[in-house]
Amino acid sequence: KECTEVIKEIRKLYESDTPIFAICLGHQLMALATGADTHKMKYGHRGGNHPVKDLETGRVYISSQNHGYVIKEETIDPDVAEVSFINVNDKTIEGLDYKNKNIRTVQFHPEACPGPQDTNYLFDEFMDRMKGAKNA
């Protein structure tokens, strides 16, 4: 929340048509830039083997995590974003899809490959979004 200048710049990116895939702190900063709020967790999520559920498919992925703050679900404007992933253990938000935008954010680290590269599809999806934006 103290990164006010960065949050203002992220808001400018949100208002553009730039495809964005934000991870971890980027997930939180994008939420803050669009009016949501965060709060400090008692213990945080650290290390590997954290199950996250994709709400669209119902699949559960094993993730790597390193964060002490989460987005407060009740502060997300439903006209701006919808929850796409949740933490299976404590039901905290692990991902957001932004409506009418080419933006997806995740709290976990899909680049860390904690399992058999289960969430690599997120990067493929982002590459497709960038190609689509370039051709538009």
Backbone angles phi, psi at 125, to 5 degrees: -60, -45
Residue 54: which H helix or E strand, with range?
strand 38-54
Residue 27 falls in the annotated catalytic set: no
Helices 25-33 and 4-15: crossing angle in degrees, nearest 10, is 70
Residue 73 falls in the annotated catalytic set: no
Residue 126: which H helix or E strand, with range?
helix 121-135
Residue 109 falls in the annotated catalytic set: yes
- Cα–Cα dist 48/73, whole Å: 23
- Cα–Cα dist 123/94, whole Å: 16
Q: Which of 27, 50, 67, 109 is catalytic?
A: 109
- Cα–Cα dist 61/108, whole Å: 10
Q: Which of 15, 56, 73, 111 is catalytic?
A: 111
Q: Which of 24, 27, 45, 67 is catalytic?
A: 24
Cα 64 off chain centre by? 14
Q: Which residues are catalytically annotated?
A: 24, 109, 111
